[in-house]
A = this chain, B = another copy of it.
Amino acid sequence: MAGSSFGTIFRVTTWGESHGKALGVTIDGCPAGIPLCEEDIQKELDRRKPGSNPYGTKRQESDTANILSGVFEGRTTGTPISIVVYNADHHSADYSNIADKFRPGHADFGFHSKYGFRDYRGGGRSSGRETLCRVAAGAVAKKVLSALNINITAYTVAIGPVEIDRSKADIDRRFDNPLLMPDNEAAEKAAAYLDKCMSECDSVGGVAECVITGVPAGVGEPVFDKLDAVLSMAIMSIGAVKGIEFGVGFEAAKLKGSQNNDPFIAENGNISKLSNNSGGILGGISDGSDIVFRAAFKPTPSIAKPQQTVNVNGENTEIVIKGRHDPIIVPRAIVVVEAMSAIALTDMILRSIPSKADDIIRHFSKE
């Protein structure tokens, strides 16, 4: 209820502060019998690890995944999977600069208003470091989805004013550059732009796109728990995200119905759509096409430039944020976008199973 859990059947609960002893996640409701080992988690954690790209924080962390429960002889048991990552480099150095000041663009003021005080070390619970728990849980969700032939791929489509050229984009080559853009030319321009901003002690925003293939039609609940509503909550819960859109998204507002509607077509017994303006979801329920959405990330709020602000005593002051901060959030957040998509989708897929009486009768009669 205090909001550290996500999902109803496949339920993820995270804990941990940026500079506490450890961070971790418990996944309750993962079906029994899924092959799972620490390497499955580690592989994903390594993608968001500090130092995984030149534009990330310089904090040194191995971010090693430890599975403490829920796996027996290489398979999930159906009981909660607990994954813990111990913090190594939490140098509790010198917070005097920020301990009593509200950093602009951060949750400090909100935390202070809500709880009366806060763990100011590195942002505490509101640190981007919290996302490593999402990535760990996402790795488990991806194992479930891969058993169902569902794949999730996110990548960068814009960094500051630099956008990819879709006519040249090749998603399979997104790992060719550290910005995870599927267009190397755009990536080069973006890198130049980033370098300039960094030299100005400034940061940059960007846009991530995510494509999910293999989702059968019929996933999602009709009214409040629409598949796109749940995915929106999942993605908007990532710290710096300020907007999300599905399919043609905000462009749909400018279109006519005859332009925006995707015609259905039947071929060899399969029903599909001739276009995918809907982004794979109609009326909140998957329509069998690829699910496609974009998320807008604001620029990293921690910048070295001096900023005007207020301290906990309500006095006007100035703040200069030193330390190790990513000048751009998007590339390291790509795996987080995939993770939250995987978590939300796995839950909605499991929730969709007991929808038809016939399926339920068949389930028990086979036993």
**Cβ contact within 8 Å between B354 and A31:** yes
**Cβ contact within 8 Å between A2 and B29:** yes
Q: Give A297-320 as 1s and 0s: 1 = Cβ < 8 Å from B's Cβ atoms.
A: 111111101011110001110000
Q: Give A228-254 as 1s and 0s: 1 = Cβ < 8 Å from B's Cβ atoms.
A: 111011101101001111111110111
Closest residue of chain B to A104 (Cβ to Cβ) is B261
Q: Give A106-135 as 1s and 0s: 1 = Cβ < 8 Å from B's Cβ atoms.
A: 111111011111110100111000100000
Closest residue of chain B to A239 (Cβ to Cβ) is B283
A145 to B76, CA, bound (A): 30
A116 to B107, CA, bound (A): 37
Chain B nearest Cβ from A128, distance in angstroms? 10
**Cβ contact within 8 Å between A32 and B242:** no
Interface size on A, residues (CB 8 A): 166
The verdict on A257 contacting chain B, using a C-beta distance below 8 Å, is yes
**Cβ contact within 8 Å between A356 and B31:** yes
* B contact residues around A125 at 8 Å (CB): 77, 79, 222-223
Given contacts A6-B224, A32-B357, A244-B245, 9 further A-B contacts (CB under 8 A): A2-B29, A4-B222, A4-B224, A5-B28, A32-B117, A105-B257, A160-B253, A261-B303, A266-B314
Residues A122-174 near B (CB distance < 8 A): 124-126, 130, 144, 147-148, 158, 160-161
**Cβ contact within 8 Å between A314 and B105:** no
Please tell me how many copies of the chain the complex holds.
Answer: 4
* B contact residues around A255 at 8 Å (CB): 160, 205, 298-299
**Cβ contact within 8 Å between A230 and B233:** yes
* B contact residues around A81 at 8 Å (CB): 15
A11-B2 in contact given A78-B355, A228-B236 (Cβ < 8 Å) = yes
**Cβ contact within 8 Å between A24 and B82:** yes
Residue of A20, A144, A225, A236 with most chain B CB atoms under a 10 A cut-off: A236
**Cβ contact within 8 Å between A203 and B256:** yes
**Cβ contact within 8 Å between B245 and A278:** no
A69 to B24, CA, bound (A): 9
* B contact residues around A205 at 8 Å (CB): 252-256, 260
A232 to B247, CA, bound (A): 16
